[in-house]
Amino acid sequence: MNSKRSTEIASLGEFGLIDRLTARLKQRRETTLMAAGDDAAVIDLGTEEAMLLSIDMLTEGIDFDLSYFPLKHLGYKAIVRGVNDILAMNAHPEQVVVALGISAKISVEALDELYEGMERACEELGVDLVGGDTTASMNGLVITVTVTGRAKKEEIVYRSGAKEHDLICITSNLGAAYMGLHLLEREKRVLKDIANPEPKFAGYEYLLERYLKPRARVNVLEALREEGIHPTSMIDLSDGLASDLRQICRSSKCGARIYLERIPIARQTTELAEEMHIDPVIAALNGGEDHELLFTVPLDKQEAVMRLGLVDVIGHITREENGVILVTPDGEGIALKAQAFDR
């Protein structure tokens, strides 16, 4: 018998698992400028430009619940999630390929709705859905989105470029998507055995939109370019502020200090969190699914960034040995921990 002990994925954590799987991979082509370790791969085209390539997967029962997730919104969100990885490299998304695993319960009309949402997102973001693949699925709907993009090599922004004293910026408030998910889950439980259920969403519509239909922050990147502000590092905020900030610090070999009172949290997020006995700060730090952009800029760009009125400056980059610290209003520093692997 094989007595070799098995290792549980949870013991490694999400990023530990990725490190383990990719550590064995060899880079064989000079055209591969960036492989694993960022929001997208970067491929040399032999010109001043490079192609970027990202892939994102959504699995029913893990990433979405069709009992309350409208298919049009799901299609829209799937495209936005994929495109955001390209935007987080400061590149221009161009084409999208979609692969579907389809279970027997999914009708043709349901797929029509899904693709209607995808096409709406593609139209808004200026990308083309150019093909894909379909196969049968035994365990629900699976959506895999591959996105290509393009950028001049010197304009690409990696996670590894943050420098000491750089400002840490985010493109909008945090925790709203997390609370939107909790609202949907709560109403599903409460109304489980009720005929003609009427969920109580009044007053929290913003939270539902942030979870069901996130927006890509193309306008922020355009504004930064117009002002001549080039981020030194950037990442898509999909796993929560604490986890994604640590990814930048890890790649850039730096530390960070962010200030609790500067982290924007929407009024509806705070109200629902209090109603559900959830700390809104936890929602903002670890909630994930915000799909905002977290980026750093040089300190001398502070006035220019503030003039935009589109971003919040929440802290600054420090030396690596200082760690990643959350500073409370009373001046206490708390080490930020990444969220455990849960999906």
Q: Tell me the pLDDT tens digit for each residue of 325-341.
A: 999 999 999 999 865 44
Mean pLDDT of 292-301: 97
Asked whether residue 18 carries a pLDDT value surpassing 70, the answer given is: no
pLDDT exceeds cutoff 80 at 276 = yes
Is residue 333 helix, strand or coil? strand
Q: Which range has the worst mean pLDDT, 6-15, 26-35, 226-235, 309-318? A: 6-15
Cα–Cα distance measured from residue 242 to residue 287, given in angstroms and rounded to the nearest whole number: 9
Between residues 22 and 68, which one has the greater pLDDT?
68
Tell me the residue type at 222: E
Residues 6+ positions from 70 with CB-CB distance below 8 Å: 113, 117, 212
- When the pLDDT of each residue in the chain is averaged and rounded to a whole number, the result is 92
Average pLDDT score over residue span 245-269: 97
Cα 59 to chain center, whole Å? Answer: 16
d(CA 221, CA 169): 12
Least confident of 92-96, 150-154, 191-195, 328-332: 191-195
The CA distance from 194 to 129, in Å, is 40
What is residue 157's predicted lDDT score, i.e. its pLDDT?
Answer: 98
Which tens digit of pLDDT belongs to each residue from 185-230? Answer: 999 998 887 777 788 899 999 999 999 999 999 999 999 999 999 9
Alpha helices for the chain (secondary structure H): 9-12, 14-22, 71-87, 108-125, 176-190, 205-212, 218-226, 241-252, 267-275, 280-286, 302-308
Position 54 scores a pLDDT of 96
Q: What is the DSSP letter of 159?
A: G
pLDDT at res. 195: 77
Q: How far apart are CA 284 and CA 260, in angstroms?
A: 10
- What CA–CA distance (Å, rounded) separates 186 from 180? 10
pLDDT at 340: 44
Q: Which pLDDT score is estimated for 56?
A: 95
* Kind and range of the H or E run holding 171: none
Q: What are the C-alpha distances in Å from 132 to residues 135, 160, 183? A: 11, 32, 33
Which pair of tokens denotes residue 29?
Answer: 């082509």
Tokens 């600054």 correspond to: 316
Give the span between the Cα atoms of 65 and 297, in whole angstroms: 38
**Higher-confidence residue: 14 or 35?**
35
Q: Of 27-31, 53-57, 62-66, 232-236, where does mean pLDDT reach its minimum?
A: 27-31
- 58 and 81 in contact (C-beta within 8 Å)? yes
What pLDDT is stored for residue 4 in this prediction? 67
Rounded to a whole number of angstroms, the CA Rg of the chain reads 21
pLDDT of residue 193: 78
Which domains are delineated in the chain? 9-155 (3.30.1330.10), 159-335 (3.90.650.10)
pLDDT score at 114? 98
Q: Tell me the three state secondary structure of residue 210.
A: helix
Which structure tokens are listed for 174? 């945090």
User: pLDDT category, 7, cuts 50, 70, 90?
Assistant: confident
Q: Could you count the other beta carbons within 10 Å of the beta carbon of residue 308?
A: 15
Tokens (6 digits) for 22: 């990719």
User: Sorting pLDDT into bands at 50, 70 and 90, what band is 26?
Assistant: confident
The confidence band for 123, taking pLDDT boundaries of 50, 70 and 90, is very high
Q: Report residue 27's pLDDT band, with 50, 70 and 90 as the boundaries.
A: confident
β-pairing, 167-170 with 312-318? antiparallel
266-302 burial string, b = 16+ CB within 10 Å, else e? bebbbebbeeeebebbebbbbbbbbbbbbbbbbeebe
How far, in Å, CA of 69 to CA of 181, rounded? 10
Smallest CA-to-CA distance from 314 within 322, 323, 325 is with: 325
Q: Is the pLDDT of residue 131 over 90?
A: yes
| Residue type for position 132 | G
pLDDT at 266 over 90: yes
Tell me: pLDDT of 342 over 50.
no
